[in-house]
């Protein structure tokens, strides 16, 4: 495979936040300075402004800033009454927080296998996993593409179940329901968003948000995020300390103005990858992501399926190309969930994906020269 130094012609990171910051430095610094001058760091006008901006962007009436995407899931689940002994149906192919939030409320994550082409939960398998203890459905919009929500919503309505969307990776993604396009997070009862720095809309630290069109759920999430109290020292419920601070809100308000432009750049880069990979004679070894007709992806990641994934990843790293595996171990086979009784082979589509997926670099500032280099190196690997 050659040496790590002699074969590197170009460095291609998975994400380049420095390049993003350089483009908006003056706007960011002015927004931060405004907060510093005000000395209003907890709640206040900057947070309220951003909550309203996000609600408008997602097409919902309400938005509630919280401390992280994980907390957005936790508070949303608690707001709809999920508690000890309840079951929540979700995907096994997601970041750990999806299942961890369910477990941390004393509830049981019930995993449904995924679709092989979108990596999202397969709605055709939900009914077989539903029981009398099922309290909610928690579909995940993975890698920037919405799950197939119409059948999920139909099942939920039929059985009177709330739907919580894990939209941590999919802010701005869209789904076509009954001929109309809807933003991720606006389809179910609650939508959960993460502002982890590497997300399409990333903070300068942790942050999250819950969107909803239901006033009573907005009220409950607001109550839960601040120790269950509306007024100082009076607590209606036992809640949490989960607040999006004003500095993060100021940063995110600036970035939100650029989000659509960044998303269009990601889509253009995804189309370039599709073209370059599809034109290759070795394309049977690499399968680009499929975007369904009902979805408009925001490409938080560009994830391929590939033969000899781990060897390819090592080969690319030696040539200066940073890639990532989302995710190497499905949730149902995580050691902490051994007591749930799942075993290898129970959810074969998710397990196969964990052996084959690889996320290629994708971010707005990526150049076509970089993408050509990435695909050339993939081609060289499969020619060996």
Q: Which residues are CB-contacts of 53 (< 8 A; sequence separation ≥ 6)? A: 63, 253, 256
Domains of the chain plus CATH, in order, are 21-112+119-256 (3.40.640.10), 259-383 (3.90.1150.10)
- Using only the alpha carbons of the chain, give its radius of gyration: 21
Q: Count H helices and E strands in the chain, helices first.
A: 12, 13
Q: Residue 281's pLDDT band (boundaries 50, 70, 90)?
A: low
Determine the 3-state secondary structure of 118 from DSSP: coil
Burial label for 156, CB within 10 Å (0-12, 13-18, 19+), is: buried
pTM of the model: 0.96
Q: 95-110: per-residue pLDDT in tens? A: 999 999 999 999 999 9
Question: DSSP strand E in 285-328: where?
Answer: 286-287, 295-296, 302-306
- Choose among 18, 31, 51: nearest CA to 198: 18
Give residue 219's pLDDT: 98
Burial label for 281, CB within 10 Å (0-12, 13-18, 19+), is: exposed
Q: 196-229: per-residue pLDDT in tens? A: 999 999 999 999 999 999 999 999 999 999 999 9
């Amino acid at each position: 495979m050659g040496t790590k130094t002699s074969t590197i012609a170009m460095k291609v990171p998975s994400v380049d936040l420095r390049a993003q910051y350089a483009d908006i430095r003056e706007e960011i610094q002015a927004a931060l300075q405004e907060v510093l001058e005000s000395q209003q760091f907890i709640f206040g006008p900057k947070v309220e402004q951003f909550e309203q901006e996000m609600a408008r962007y997602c097409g919902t009436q309400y938005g509630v800033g919280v401390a992280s995407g994980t907390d957005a899931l936790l508070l949303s689940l608690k707001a709809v009454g999920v508690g000890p002994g309840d079951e929540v149906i979700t995907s096994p192919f997601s970041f750990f927080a999806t299942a961890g939030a369910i477990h941390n409320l004393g509830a049981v994550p019930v995993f449904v296998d995924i679709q092989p082409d979108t990596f999202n939960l397969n709605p055709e398998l939900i009914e077989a996993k539903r029981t009398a203890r099922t309290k909610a459905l928690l579909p995940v919009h993975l890698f920037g593409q919405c799950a197939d929500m119409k059948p999920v919503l139909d099942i939920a309505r039929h059985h009177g179940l709330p739907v919580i969307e894990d939209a941590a990776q999919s802010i701005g993604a869209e789904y076509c329901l009954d001929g109309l396009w809807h933003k991720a997070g606006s389809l179910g009862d609650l939508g959960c968003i993460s502002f982890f720095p590497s997300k399409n809309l990333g903070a300068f630290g942790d942050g999250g948000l819950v969107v909803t069109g239901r006033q009573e759920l907005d009220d409950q999430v607001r109550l839960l995020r601040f120790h269950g109290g509306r007024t100082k020292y009076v607590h209606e419920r036992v809640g949490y300390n989960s607040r999006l601070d004003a500095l993060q809100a100021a940063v995110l308000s600036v970035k939100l103005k650029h989000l659509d432009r960044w998303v269009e750049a990601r889509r253009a880069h995804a189309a370039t990858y599709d073209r370059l990979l599809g034109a290759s004679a070795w394309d049977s070894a690499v399968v680009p992501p499929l975007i369904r007709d009902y979805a408009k992806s925001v490409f938080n990641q560009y994830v391929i399926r590939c033969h000899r994934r781990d060897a390819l990843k090592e080969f690319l790293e030696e040539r200066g190309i940073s890639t990532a595996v989302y995710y190497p171990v499905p949730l149902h086979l995580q050691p902490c969930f051994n007591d749930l009784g799942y075993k290898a082979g129970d959810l074969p589509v998710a397990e196969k994906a964990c052996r084959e997926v690889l996320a290629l670099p994708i971010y707005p500032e990526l150049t076509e020269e970089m993408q050509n280099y990435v695909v050339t190196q993939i081609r060289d690997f499969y020619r060996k």
